[in-house]
Amino acid sequence: MAEQGKKQIPLRLSAKLYNDIAAWAEDDFRSVNGQIEYLLTECVRQRKKNGKYVSEDIDVPPELDI
């Protein structure tokens, strides 16, 4: 049974994007699903913080308060 409050959604990714996310997830000791959830959470958190989806300076890592 799914964790209460979590929704299951179908998601289609290109093979290249999936492989890139899988490699990143492995580096961060997460599952692919966990990595996608983490990335989406950070994107939403950043959007709420400053109203933008990505940093103006794309090459500068964001400061995260995790």
The phi, psi pair for 51, rounded to 5°, reads: 75, 10
Burial code (b: 16+ CB inside 10 Å, e: under 16) for 48-61 equals eeeeeeeeeeeeee
Residue 43 has pLDDT above 80, yes or no: yes
pLDDT computed for residue 12 by the predictor: 94
Mean pLDDT of the 14-32 span: 94
pLDDT computed for residue 47 by the predictor: 80
Domains of the chain, by residue range, sit at 15-50
